[in-house]
Amino acid sequence: MNCREMTEFLMAYLDAELPEAERRKFESHLGDCPPCVSYMESYRDTMRLGRCLCDHTEPAAPPEEIPERLVQAILAARRS
- Name the DSSP letter for residue 63: P
What pLDDT shows up at residue 13? 93
Q: Give the pLDDT confidence score for residue 54 in this predicted structure.
A: 66
Contact 68, 76 (CB under 8 A): no
Indicate the pTM of the whole model. 0.61
* CB proximity list for 78: less than 8 A, separation 6 or greater: 59
Instruction: Give the model's pLDDT for residue 67.
Output: 78
Please report, for the chain, the start and end positions of each structural domain, with discontinuous segments joined by +: 3-79
pLDDT at 16: 93
Domain 3-79 belongs to what architecture? Orthogonal Bundle (1.10)
Structure confidence by residue, pLDDT tens digits, 10-63: 999 999 999 999 999 999 999 999 999 999 988 888 887 777 666 665 656 666
Phi and psi at 74, nearest 5°, equal -65, -45
